[in-house]
Amino acid sequence: MTLVERFLKYVSFDTEASESTQVTPSTPGQMVFAKYLKTELESLGLEDISLDENGYLFATLPGNMDKPVPTIGFIAHMDTSPDMTGKDVKPRIVENYDGTDIVLNESQHIILSPKQFPELLSHQGEDLIVTDGTTLLGADDKAGIAEIITAIEYLKAHPEVKHGKIRIGFNPDEEIGLGAHKFDVEKFGCEWGYTMDGGDLGELEFENFNAAGAKITIKGRNVHPGYAKDKMINSLRVANQLISMLPADEVPERTTKYEGFYHLIGMQGTVEETTVSYIIRDHSRELFEKRKENMIQCVNQINAQYGEGTATLEMKDQYYNMREKIEPVMHIIDTAFEAMEAVGVKPNVKPIRGGTDGAQLSFKGLPCPNIFAGGLNFHGRYEFIPIQNMEKAVKVIVKIAQLVAEKA
């Protein structure tokens, strides 16, 4: 099976994650896909193949050298984002893209245009896999899975390419922030790993946000509006007051690069009670802690004005910037950088304005930066991936394995 055939098969599985089920994997389709992948890995003759009850699939390609070589891992996630359906994906290939509009769905007037997505113009002359406009594609991260398996298949078929022991890991529920929670790092048994879960060609990431979630519940006092003077506390208005206390420019739509933010993700309520939900993000651990403290102070101000217990805050850290775990082992970044250059890819080292399984894995003892899988416009109908990006990712994986062996 070719790389493209493999990818097109994988996106036919509905593996959309769900935040509501409270089980792992969060949806049954992920386990269906995991069982299919297990069968494929068995057919390739890999060793130590295991699939646990939570949907974590591990396998080994043994090394082919006499000297000791570090065991490394390549990791990708099986789920797709709940932001848009991944059921009945109908991909097609736009060959030799000419830089013009791509009609994804004529009947619904859905167009992938370089006017809205100028990154398309960087891929003129390439072959793009696109959606039919009614679903996401699933390149995040089924492209990563296809690339890893294709690279492992190549290494197995070409014993002249020397490498150490390689572990591969495919996990569920990355898209809901739980991909690494039940990942057994000790069982995986690597000195370091790479997630193949980045975006466009050349992306190499070892910095991500520190992240927390905050939920503020505001208790109001409902009184007939005709007799409400000096009696009513309208929790909806108090919630808006709290929102206005936070810096207006420190939101996702007005920040970039290393700038952090407060992101309002939900607001539900009545006069009697309102709930406001935020995510808090910053690359700097110091600024991250200050953001959390600012949130606490805002809640305290509300209680000082309206009475203790009016506002209650639940705040929980979600993940941290993996940079502090990667810096002591920067040779793993140097190796990825060198591998990209060796196969003709210009490395683009950049911070992740989000999270990654690699961040949590790094804090569990498995340093794990993130490498491009090649897709663009993830989580929506305009998602696409150039086939040439995927082919380059395969070459990067192979070259990393080769370089690790050479440097041992």
What residues are labeled active site?
79, 174
The tokens describing 319, both together, are: 């993940």
Which residue pairs, CB below 8 angstroms and at least 24 apart, start in 179-184? 179/77, 179/79, 179/357, 179/360, 180/357, 180/359, 180/360, 180/361, 180/364, 181/24, 181/360, 182/24, 182/54, 182/56, 183/56, 183/357, 183/360, 183/361, 183/364, 184/52, 184/56
> CA torsion, points 194, 199, 203, 207, in degrees to nearest 10?
-70
3-state secondary structure the chain: CCHHHHHHHHCCCCCECCCCCCCCCCCHHHHHHHHHHHHHHHHCCCEEEEECCCCCEEEEECCCCCCCCCCEEEEEECCECCCCCCCCCCCEEECCCCCCCEEEECCCCEEECCCCCHHHHHHCCCCEEECCCCCCCCHHHHHHHHHHHHHHHHHHHCCCCCCCCEEEEEECCHHHCCCCCCCCHHHHCCCEEEEEEECCCCEEECCECEEEEEEEEEECECCCHHHCCCCCECHHHHHHHHHHHCCCCCCHHHCCCCCCEEEEEEEEECCCEEEEEEEEEECCHHHHHHHHHHHHHHHHHHHHHHCCCCEEEEEEEEECCCHHHHHHHCHHHHHHHHHHHHCCCCCEECCECCCCHHHHHHHCCCCCCEEECCCECCCCCCCEEEHHHHHHHHHHHHHHHHHHHHHC
The total of other beta-carbon atoms located within 10 Å of residue 406's CB is 12
